[in-house]
């Protein structure tokens, strides 16, 4: 077979596998995490230095380690684990009208294990994002991740 057909076939197989496992893992992840995203629990938050507010349209981001702590991020970002071992990330302003993109990723040149991640508005907190994760075998996990908020 030609090289381009082989490449396209491999991409199709990889995309199909990702879609199937994502659909299965996402369902389990959503069902288990829904109860924790109430905004009522009081996570242990990391201490971020006091900072002036960013402009409304400034990018907001956070790099979070496997303990739910901020490694680096935009000014004023804080994070912490919830009682059910999910992560709450708080920003300096109301982000309810924004989009949240999260991906499992290391803090520097480390490579975390594969897994699943979901991000949604933190219930009861206009400036918060709720992040839940699972290992590739669908067991609950706290993995390092990168989060961006686009408004």
Q: What is the pLDDT of residues 49-85, one digit of tens each?
A: 444 567 777 889 999 999 999 999 999 999 999 999 9
| pLDDT at residue 44, as a whole number | 52
pLDDT score recorded for residue 37:
80
The string of pLDDT tens digits covering residues 107-126 is 888 999 999 999 999 999 99
Distance separating alpha carbons of residues 130 and 50, to the nearest angstrom: 22
136 pLDDT higher than 50: yes
Q: What pLDDT is stored for residue 14 in this prediction?
A: 40
Q: Is the pLDDT of residue 94 over 50?
A: yes
> Taken in order 44, 47, 51, 57, is the CA torsion positive or negative?
negative
The residues near 33 (Cβ < 8 Å, ≥ 6 apart) are 84, 86, 118, 130, 132
> In this predicted structure, what is the pLDDT of residue 120?
97
Mean residue pLDDT across the chain: 79
What are the residue ranges of helices labelled H in the chain?
3-33
Find the mean pLDDT for residues 28-53: 55
Q: What confidence score (pLDDT) does residue 64 get?
A: 98
């Amino acid at each position: 077979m030609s090289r381009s057909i082989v490449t396209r076939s491999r991409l199709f197989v990889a995309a199909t596998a990702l879609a199937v496992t994502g659909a299965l893992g996402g369902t389990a992840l959503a069902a288990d995490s829904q109860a924790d995203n109430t905004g009522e629990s009081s996570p242990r938050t990391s201490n971020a230095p006091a900072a002036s507010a960013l402009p409304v349209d400034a990018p907001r981001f956070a790099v979070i380690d496997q303990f739910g702590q901020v490694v680096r991020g935009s000014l004023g970002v804080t994070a912490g684990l919830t009682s059910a071992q999910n992560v709450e990330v708080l920003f300096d302003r109301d982000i309810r009208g924004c989009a949240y993109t999260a991906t499992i990723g290391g803090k520097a040149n480390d490579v975390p294990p594969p897994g699943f991640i979901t991000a949604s508005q933190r219930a009861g907190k206009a400036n918060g994002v709720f992040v839940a994760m699972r290992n590739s075998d669908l067991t609950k996990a706290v993995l390092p991740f990168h989060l961006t908020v686009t408004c």
